[in-house]
Amino acid sequence: MATGTDQVVGLGLVAVSLIIFTYYTVWVILLPFIDSQHVIHKYFLPQAYAVAIPLAAGLLLLLFVGVFITYVMLKNQKVTKKAQ
């Protein structure tokens, strides 16, 4: 059973994820249909970043996963050699 703190942290993570998803959806899907002189455009980055930011985040995620897998494999290799 989750403690109260775990539930608050989980709720916070879900709320942040929902805000980011809503912001990105409005930015990518709705903003191109709104006139470029409208005041709402000042709250969003240029459209080029709509591709660059997720691409960079995905590459960083792949990098961290690769480093983690490499670390675990090397650590297990050392333990196996010590056991023999």
Averaged pLDDT, 28-43: 92
On the 0-12 / 13-18 / 19+ scale of CB atoms within 10 A, 31 is: middle
Provide, rounded to the nearest whole percent, the portion of the chain with pLDDT above 90: 80
The rounded distance, in Å, linking the Cα atoms of 84 and 82 is 6
Q: Is the pLDDT of residue 81 over 90?
A: no
Secondary structure of residue 35 in the 3-state scheme = coil
Question: What is the pTM (predicted TM-score) of this model?
Answer: 0.70
Residue type at 17 in one-letter notation: S
The rounded distance, in Å, linking the Cα atoms of 11 and 29 is 26
